[in-house]
Amino acid sequence: MSAMGDIFPGPLFTDLYELTMAAAFHEEGHNPPATFSLFVRPPRQGDPWGYLVAAGLEAVLDALEGFGFDDGDIAYLKATGLFETSFLDMLAGLRFSGSVDAMPEGTVCFPNEPLLEVTAPLIEAQLLETYLINTMGLATLLTTKASRCVEAAGGRVGRPLIDFSLRRTQGSAAGMAASRAAYLAGFAATSNVLAGKRYGIPLAGTMAHSFVQAFGDEAAAFEAYARTFPQRTILLIDTYDALSGARGALDLARKLRDGGRRLVGVRLD
């Protein structure tokens, strides 16, 4: 798997106060080694499913390897009028020089134990704080939720689950993160084609209600889909009426059987 979500957006993906604190540290010549420990809060106090599943590390490591301010970043910070030239010159040459200790992704863990610790000169660690919290927090939240869904469905040997979250997630990066998290937690497949390519996740998907409506006749839609995908015919049967759709699917299943093929399944949306 490659990193969660989109490519690292750059060092300006941070809260302003990370930069103002770093500027003050620089002005004072105060840049000792520091260790930042990252925790994730439990979903709610007293939760009987009180475990977490650590995730997001690969994206963090990718970001640390490529961390650096480019000319455009420095020009923007200069234009804000907030920072002295000596601080901006320091940022222009800054690279991550520290070390990381972390739980492997997919590790079951618990609140109040660190998922990740960064040890680095204080300014470096400070500037990375927002990105690390955002990335590890989201990935761990999504993977933990997906893990609970897998457990509710009987675990990895129970009913297979498929991620269809893409059109409801909060933007493209979150959509990629959700698909990766679900697969990491034990989901069997995703509808997200880019996640399939990027992360090697099996793909799943059939048709929408609009496909059935586009033909004006449910039986015609079913037959058209079966002709296009004869080895993986799965029908959405509740566009108009689920019972009527089930009867239509049964009729098609008989035709497919007579031709040496089979109806793989039906779907209720």
Adjacent-strand bridge partners of 120: 34
What whole-number distance in Å separates Cα of residue 147 and Cα of residue 49? 10
Confidence category of residue 110, pLDDT binned at 50, 70, 90: confident
pLDDT above 70: residue 45: no
- State which H helix or E strand residue 133 sits in: helix 122-152
Through-space distance between the first and last CA atoms of the chain, rounded to whole angstroms: 30
Long-range contacts (CB closer than 8 Å, 24 or more residues apart) made by 41-50: 41/111, 42/111, 43/141, 43/144, 49/148, 49/151, 50/110, 50/111
pTM of the complete model: 0.87
Confidence category of residue 1, pLDDT binned at 50, 70, 90: very low
pLDDT above 70: residue 43: no
Flag the least confident range among 18-22, 41-45, 109-113, 248-252. 41-45
Confidence category of residue 157, pLDDT binned at 50, 70, 90: confident
- What pLDDT score was predicted for residue 48? 61
What whole-number distance in Å separates Cα of residue 144 and Cα of residue 49? 10
Q: What is the DSSP letter of 41?
A: -
Using DSSP bridges, classify how beta strands 162-163 and 189-190 pair: parallel, antiparallel or unpaired. parallel
